[in-house]
Amino acid sequence: MNILILGDLLGRTGREAAIAAIPELRRMLRLDVLVVNAENASHGFGLAPDMAQALFAAGADVITLGNHAWDRREIIPYIAQEKRVIRPMNFPPGTPGAGFVTLALPGGLKILVAQVMGRLFMDPLDCPFQAMESLLARHRLGPNGVDAIIVDFHGEATSEKMAFAHAFDGAVSAVLGTHTHCPTADHQILPGGTAYMSDVGMCGDYDSVIGMGKAPAIARFTRKMPGERLHPADGEATICGAVIDTGPDGRAQSIEPLRLGGRLSPQIPSA
C-alpha cells in the first residue's frame, strides 16, 4: 500500500499549492491513500469546512488537525459529521470529533489513520501512549485486523515522538511527526517494521519563520510589546511530506521524504 502524508498546510499559499499538486501526486506516486495535516490551513490558524471540502475534492482521503483544531469554530459541527477529519485522540473525553478513522479501500483492504498530540511543551492532555494502547486493543495490525495503521504525532519534542515510535514499533505501520514545520532527515524503518520521521515538514513558504511573515515573528523575540499579528508568508510554497510503502503484513517496506517546489532542495520519491 502506498501512502502519502503531507505536513501542515500553512495559509492560502500552502493550501492552494497542495490542492493543485494532489491530483498529480496521486497519479505519479500511484497512491492508495493520501493524508493531509491542515490545522494551519486558514490564515495559519485552524481549518474551515470549505477548505476541508476543497482538499477532499482534490483527492485527500483523511485530514488531521492538532493544537489549532478549534481556532475556526465552524469546524466543530463539521467534524461531528465528517469522519474523515480527525483531531488528536488524546483530547479529553467528550471533545467533538474522533481521533482516528478507518477507511475501506478497493480490493478489500482497510487502513486506520490516527492522530495523537504530544505533551512536552504542548497543552496538558491525556497520555498519548495510553490512548494508543487503548486503540490497538480494539484495532490490530495484520491478519484479522487492518492492513495499515498510520499515526500522525503532532508535537514539539523529537524525544517524545521517538519514544512513541519505539513503544509501538511493529504494532503500527508508521509514526510521522507534524507541528514543527521543519522536515527532518531521520526517516527510517525501525527494527520492528514501523516507518518513522520526526517531522514531515510543512506545505508553505519557507522564506519565513515556520511559515509566518518574518518581521512580526522577529519582533516577538526582540521586543516585549504588542505588535503586528502573525500572518502567513505568501511566497511560493514547498510541498513537504513522506511516502510510505507497506507490505502484506502491514509493516513498512520503505519511507521516502517528499519536497516539491519553493526554496528547499527537491526530493521526489520513486513510484
Helix axes 158-167, 128-138, angle to 10 degrees: 30
Q: What angle do CA 5, 8, 9 make, to 5 degrees?
A: 105
Sorted by sequence, the CB contacts under 8 Å of residue 180 that are 6+ apart come out as 156, 199, 210
Helix axes 49-58, 11-29, angle to 10 degrees: 20
What span, in angstroms and rounded, lies between the C-alpha atoms of 107 and 183? 33
- Which of 68, 179, 181, 187 is labelled catalytic? 68
Residue 154 is among the residues annotated as catalytic for this protein: no
DSSP letter assigned to residue 191: T
For residue 246, what are the β-bridge partners?
A: 252
Catalytic residues: 68
